């Protein structure tokens, strides 16, 4: 009897070790070997102000770690969201679908306030139809906010991959980069545009492992990560509570609950471009 008990306990111990090892290995799939981990972005880049240009309410979740850390170190942060996210699905459904744009606009404004963002404009371009808006109109909309808020760093989507291959993301990344380059070349009101562009990147190993065809495509079309910062899982989980229509989105899209995903994937990876 005693031998059986020792055998069972031994087997249980082995299973726990295998599970812990598997979990550790899974966690490493969200790291980027090419990236340098930096504790402080402002210290690394001398940032005093950051503008995040996104496409949809909740896109700020991808850079929430960056925004709260910059804010905590005294930098000012700003946000511009191109659409109200009216074409999205609800996870779970908590509002009339026809009201979704208004509800999601409110959600992102509440979340940006919680992140300590100084000012946040949400525009009314068509969700999933940003590609139909004339490029010059979008560039002018972004440039107007840059001139108003004068960020020294722009955070936006890598135009070739958009973090998730979403057309709206790629389009906003493209126009934001053009707006920044034009200001560098031709300052307005004495403001010569942002000096850096920080592009948040998807974790490439995990994308190839569990992201399906789209994940592989994204990993193939984004640059190697240069910097990693702590992603602040608690802030992201709070973000999903605030984005109530998207609260179960992570579970629906990734197949794992948000608390698990954000604890395993607890870094934000960036490629940083310095503008001349």
Q: At its nearest, how many Å lie between Zn ion and the CB of residue 176? A: 14
Angle separating helix axes 167-185 and 135-149, nearest 10 degrees: 60
Spatial contact of 70 and 38, defined as CB atoms under 8 Å apart: no
Q: How far apart are CA 237 and CA 116, in angstroms?
A: 16
Q: At its nearest, how many Å lie between Zn ion and the CB of residue 121? A: 16
- Subset of 120-139 contacting Zn ion (CB under 5 A): none
Q: Which is nearer to Zn ion, 75 or 175 (CB)?
A: 175
Q: At its nearest, how many Å lie between Zn ion and the CB of residue 88? A: 9
Q: How far apart are CA 18 and CA 192, in angstroms?
A: 55
Q: How far apart are CA 80 and CA 132, in angstroms?
A: 19
Q: At its nearest, how many Å lie between Zn ion and the CB of residue 115? A: 16
Q: Which is nearer to Zn ion, 193 or 200 (CB)?
A: 200
Q: Which is nearer to Zn ion, 65 or 85 (CB)?
A: 85
- Quick note: the x/- pattern for Zn ion over 52-71, rule CB under 5 A, is ---xx--x------------
Stretch that binds Zn ion, among 51-59, 113-121, 129-137, 201-209 (CB under 5 A): 51-59
Q: Which is nearer to Zn ion, 76 or 104 (CB)?
A: 104
Give the single-character DSSP code of 248: T
CA dihedral 68, 69, 70, 76 (to 10 degrees): 30
CB nearest Zn ion: which residue?
Answer: 56
How many residues bind Zn ion (CB under 5 A)? The answer is 3
Q: At its nearest, how many Å lie between Zn ion and the CB of residue 143? A: 21
Stretch that binds Zn ion, among 18-26, 48-56, 73-81, 133-141 (CB under 5 A): 48-56
Q: Which is nearer to Zn ion, 47 or 59 (CB)?
A: 59
* CB neighbours of residue 63 within 10 Å: 27
83 forms beta bridges with: 125
Q: At its nearest, how many Å lie between Zn ion and the CB of residue 242? A: 16
- Measured between alpha carbons, how far is residue 255 from residues 81, 248, 249, 258 in Å? 27, 10, 9, 9
Q: How far apart are CA 239 and CA 60, in angstroms?
A: 9
Residue numbers of the site for Zn ion (CB under 5 A)?
Answer: 55-56, 59
């Amino acid at each position: 009897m005693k031998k059986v008990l020792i055998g069972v306990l031994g087997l249980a111990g082995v299973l726990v070790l295998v599970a812990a090892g598997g979990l550790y290995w899974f966690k490493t799939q969200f790291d980027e070997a090419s990236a340098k981990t930096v504790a402080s972005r402002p210290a690394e880049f001398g940032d005093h102000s950051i503008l995040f240009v996104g496409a949809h309410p909740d896109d700020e979740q991808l850079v929430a770690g960056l925004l709260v850390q910059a804010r905590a170190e005294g930098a000012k942060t700003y946000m511009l969201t191109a659409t109200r996210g009216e074409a999205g699905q609800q996870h779970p459904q908590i509002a009339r679908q026809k009201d979704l744009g208004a509800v999601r606009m409110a959600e992102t404004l509440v979340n940006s306030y919680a992140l300590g963002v100084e000012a946040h404009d949400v525009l009314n371009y068509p969700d999933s139809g940003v590609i139909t808006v004339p490029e010059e109109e979008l560039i002018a909309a972004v440039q107007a906010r840059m001139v108003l808020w004068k960020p020294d760093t722009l955070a936006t989507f890598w135009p070739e991959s958009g973090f998730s291959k979403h057309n709206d993301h790629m389009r906003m990344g493209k126009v934001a980069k053009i707006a920044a380059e034009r200001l560098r070349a031709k300052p307005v009101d004495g403001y010569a545009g942002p000096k850096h562009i920080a592009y948040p990147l998807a974790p490439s190993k995990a994308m190839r492992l569990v992201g399906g065809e789209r994940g592989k495509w994204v990993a193939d079309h984004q640059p190697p990560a240069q910097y990693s910062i702590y992603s602040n899982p608690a802030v992201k989980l709070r973000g999903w509570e605030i984005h109530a229509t998207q609260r179960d989105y992570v579970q629906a899209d990734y197949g794992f609950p948000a608390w698990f995903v954000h604890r395993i994937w607890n870094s934000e990876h960036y490629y940083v471009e310095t503008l001349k």
